[in-house]
A and B are shown apart, each in its own frame.
Chain A
Amino acid sequence: MPINYYIYLAVALFSIGVAGVLTRRNAIIIFMCVELMLNAVNLLLVAFSKMHAQTALAANPSAITGVEAQLFVFFIMVVAAAEVSVGLAIIVMMYRNIHSVDVNFLNRLKH
């Protein structure tokens, strides 16, 4: 299967994520869209990793390559989990104070 399809899929998912972040008003949904962006990146990294591994194997059958991108994916997952824990805590803190997670409330700082 050509690499192009993976790239189109990843870019489409990423764009949906970006569009969601820019247009939705609910903090949780925005947050889900950010996660979608990160997962699009994971997909793309794995696809590229396979692509580079195939090229390297064609040249040298005993080559070990393309592993680092798959490792990178694990790092992204771990960091995303750390981010979720902090982010949800902030959203909960906000909900306790104003009983809403709508980002339209975020205008007190604009004088």
Chain B
Amino acid sequence: MNLILLSAIWGIVMMFSGLFLNSKSAAKTVALVGAVALLIGNIFDLSGKMIINSDFKGMLQYERFGLLFLTVLILALIIYILLSGKDVEAVGKHPFEYFALIFFVMSGAGLVALFNNLLILFIGIEIVSIPLYILTGADKRNLKGNEAALKYFLMGSFSTGILLMGIAFLYGAAGSFQVERLAMITSEDFTAFTTIGIVMVMVALAFKVSAAPFHFWTPDVYDGAPTVFTSFMATIVKAAIFIGFLNLFINAFAGKSDSWKLTVAIITALTLFIGNITAVYQQSVKRMLAYSSIAQAGFMLFAVFAVNDLSKQGLLLYAAAYCFATIGIFAVLVKMKDYTFEGFNGLAKKQPLVAFVLTVCFLSLAGIPLTAGFFAKYFVLAAAVKTGTYLWLVIFAVVMAAVSVYYYFRVIQAMYFKEGETQELELATPFKALLVLVAAVIIVLGVYPSLLLDMLIFF
């Protein structure tokens, strides 16, 4: 509850400080203070000390998993603000408002992670989505940005309609929006309602996390949006929607797996296939990262597919590994002028440290051992193996992970083994130090994943 309240309040504080502070560069500092306040508030949440200690008649549930997941998201937000805060300020004339919208998104993420009622899930997803439409179109003069914003908005509101229809059918079957009541639907008369409801909710959430065949908006939107906001959308927002997805399926639909298991398996396989194969053919690193985020969503869908304890651990670790690595890569990408693979030629000679950090990030995304991505992939796949069915899907995922190595290593190869005119990169020392910190976190999580996973049990 602390997180939801504090981030909503801090969003408003950000807007007013834009009015009273004349200096544009103060935005990053104010945002950073807010993000640290969120982190402290969330740690108090974890130990049960809340500003308003109520679960609102069971509409929210303070599960350790959800709260810990939010901690990871806030840490990612702090890293994001530290690394890319200056670039957010550079997008347009209203830096304070951009950060305010980012805080509103975090408030929505809190609702999505802690919901226990479909109303809260719906409100949370909308609070996450609506600020993002604005952020996508933040660069008003840029036609590509306009197009991305309109596309994102139309697709987003369309999927909201589908989500609501699914919720309405589930209400018809259960007579309540509470998640526990949904889990208890037994009446034979309502099997059709339940199945239609589950499938529609699943389709809508697949839209939001950009799983194939509902992914077609993703590359265009991620490509057209200002790069700093692409970084935010592809990491923190995607992870936040995923926890809602997983919580809903674990708490409400785990007992009815006959009606959705096959569909989720097909969506997972399609997502992995389309994401990885299309990423191979991209010429721009930004667009390649968009397809790679679709492919990574395929792996995170394994957690939803398995719905057991291991899948919670897997999703937690996956979200951490994926968020940190992608934020690191985007932070460097934003500073570059040329987004093609050739733009990375010879980077290792000019900026050996940055090249090393990027290598660690790409290795983690590819799932090479000793990086966090390896254990993340291991846990989500192990969760799927534990269900004992659909082993072909796991084998397919491993093959697709091998395909992903190809396009991630293209960047590493360009940095280390190709000669070329490197573009000028002006990077401050604190920026580099932070990048090294990101790489260190990825490696530490890759060696001791239990540092994070143990917190699910102890604190």
Contacts and interface: CB of A to CB of B under 8 A. Distances in A.
A93 B168 contact: no
B280 interface: no
Contacts of B144: 108-109
Contacts, number: 121
A109 B143 CA distance: 10
Given A38-B161, A41-B161, A48-B172, 18 more contacts: A34-B161, A37-B158, A45-B171, A49-B171, A56-B175, A68-B176, A71-B119, A83-B130, A83-B157, A83-B160, A86-B153, A90-B134, A90-B137, A106-B147, A108-B143, A109-B220, A109-B223, A110-B220
Contacts of A94: 146-147, 149-150
Nearest to B173: A48
Interface of A: 7, 10, 14, 17-18, 21, 27, 30-31, 34, 37-38, 40-41, 44-45, 48-49, 51-52, 55-56, 65-66, 68-69, 71-72, 75-76, 79, 82-83, 86-87, 89-91, 93-94, 97-98, 103, 105-106, 108-111
Contact of B150 (A48, A49, A75, A91): A91
B96 interface: no
A111 B291 CA distance: 15
A94 B140 CA distance: 9
A93 B137 contact: yes
B134 A86 contact: yes
Contact of A97 (B122, B146, B177): B146
B126 interface: yes
Nearest to B148: A109
A90 B149 contact: yes
B150 A72 contact: no
Contact of A69 (B134, B171, B224, B283): B171
B168 A44 contact: yes
Contact of A41 (B123, B151, B165): B165
A94 B113 CA distance: 34
Q: Name the 6 nearest CB pairs between A and B, nearest first.
A: A37-B161, A109-B220, A41-B164, A52-B175, A48-B172, A44-B168
B337 interface: no
A86 B133 contact: yes
A3 to B, nearest CB: 8
A90 B133 contact: yes
A91 B146 CA distance: 9
Nearest to B169: A44
B229 to A, nearest CB: 14
Given A82-B130, A108-B147, A87 B153 contact: yes
B280 to A, nearest CB: 15
A73 to B, nearest CB: 10
Contacts of A82: 126, 130
29 contacts: A14-B161, A14-B165, A17-B161, A27-B150, A34-B154, A34-B158, A34-B161, A38-B164, A41-B161, A41-B167, A41-B168, A44-B168, A45-B171, A48-B171, A68-B176, A69-B171, A72-B177, A75-B122, A82-B126, A83-B157, A83-B160, A89-B134, A90-B133, A90-B137, A90-B146, A93-B137, A97-B143, A103-B150, A111-B283
A90 B153 contact: yes
A4 B277 CA distance: 45
A108 B166 CA distance: 34
Contacts of B160: 34, 38, 79, 83
A38 B177 CA distance: 18
B158 to A, nearest CB: 5
Nearest to B126: A79
